[in-house]
Structure 1
Amino acid sequence: MRSFVDTLLKAVITVIFVVLVACVTWQVISRYILGTPSTVTDELARFLFMWLALIGGAYTMGLRRHLAIDLLTQKLAGRPRAVLEGFSLAAVAIFVGMVMVKGGGQLVWKTFASGQVTPALQIPMGYVYGAIPFAGAIILYYCAIFAFELWRDGPFRPDAGDTMPVGGPLD
């Protein structure tokens, strides 16, 4: 399942990036060569960039390549390291769950309910803001996988000692 989600995200990010480059290229051509800037591609590029950044961040989390301050984690081993990694995952999951999924979901709901549409494209703004809870759900999915792997492979197994090699399951 995880490889399917990774592949799907990679494909979505690639498509968004290609369309974004095409929009920006057309914007430059229409502005500087044709002398009439396209408002549609300007707005579309802005919204696609939002989706690209949020989904790309979620995908990066899934690759375990997200920016992290792991100075203390690198110095620890065994259960203390696993506990700290678990605490970090829990903090990320709580933040993402409350801010991105719950708060972002409420923003999408309120925006759809208000009937707000984008100026040039005339599409509901809820679709634009939908990137927030969507990316949040993906990050929560990866947090759950990492927590399970930490529990399964870490020093909490019944057959494990109190040691976990540096470079454990979350490295």
Structure 2
Amino acid sequence: MRLLSLLLSRLFESIVVFCMCTMVILVFFNVVLRYGFNSGIALSDEGARYLFVWLTFIGAVVALRDNAHLGIDLLYRRLPALGQRVCAVLAEVMMLFCCGLFLVGSYKQTVINMDNLSPVAELPLGLMYAAGVVCSLGMAAIIIKRLYLLLFRHVDPDQVMPLSPEDALISEVSK
């Protein structure tokens, strides 16, 4: 299971890097061609748009894995251990519910837009919405793992959702 998790993490990170690099190269060469040679890459705008959408959604999965999303834990940190556990479980359940809603909506939009083609590349627009399906499935897997650790392994919520390096430093200094 850990090997699969590691492989998926590396795959998602590689997709983010690939999307970013390809997007930068496409847009850079398009700008050079437009201003230097009065021509351009027709696929550049649509390609960059598709890549940006995938970069954003896959990056959100990577950020969730690394606990890099913004969070306000002022009240959470003041709760006793049991309160923190209950709060963490409730937060994970609500996020899982939102992932379910997002999965259903993204899947419906993917199916609806598979017959619609983009004007230049003639790629199905459903491919753009498919990023939402992959994102919600990836996030749901991470959330289910966290819920399992919280509920059945009785892992401390701080180990499942550790503090950011900045918050850890602040809590060390304040002790």
Matches within 5 A, 1:17-166: 17-98=20-101, 100-112=102-114, 115-154=115-154
The alpha carbon displacement at 1:152 in A equals 4.0
Q: d(CA) in 2 for partners of 1:128 and 1:58?
A: 16
User: Aligned partners of 1:24 and 1:70: how far apart in 2?
Assistant: 39
**What letter is aligned with 1:123?**
L
Shift >3 Å, 4+ stretches: 152-155
Aligned length: 159
**1:167 CA drift (Å):** 3.4
Q: Judging changes above 3 Å, is the alpha-carbon distance between structure 1 residues 21 and 102 closer, same or farther for their aligned structure 2 residues?
A: same
Query: Is 1:169 aligned to residue 171 of structure 2?
Result: no
Higher RCO structure (Cα 8 Å, ≥6 apart): 1
TM-fit CA distance, 1:38: 2.6
Give me the whole-angstrom Cα distance separating, in 2, the residues matched to 1:168 and 1:18: 33
AA at the equivalent of 1:90: V
CA offsets 1:92-128 (integer angstroms, 9 cap, x no match): 1101111x2100000001112xx20001100111112
How far 1:77 moved relative to its partner? Answer: 3.0
**Residue 160 (structure 1) aligns with:** none
TM-score (norm 2): 0.84
Runs of 5+ consecutive residues of structure 1 not aligned to the other structure: 156-163
SS in 2 for 1:137: helix
| Partner Cα separation in structure 2 for residue 41 and residue 34 of structure 1 | 16
- TM normalised by structure 1 equals 0.86
C-alpha change, 1:76 and 1:168, in structure 2 (3 Å) is farther
Which secondary structure does the structure 1 equivalent of 2:158 belong to?
A: coil
| Percent identity (aligned) | 20
Q: How much is the aligned-residue C-alpha RMSD, in angstroms?
A: 1.6
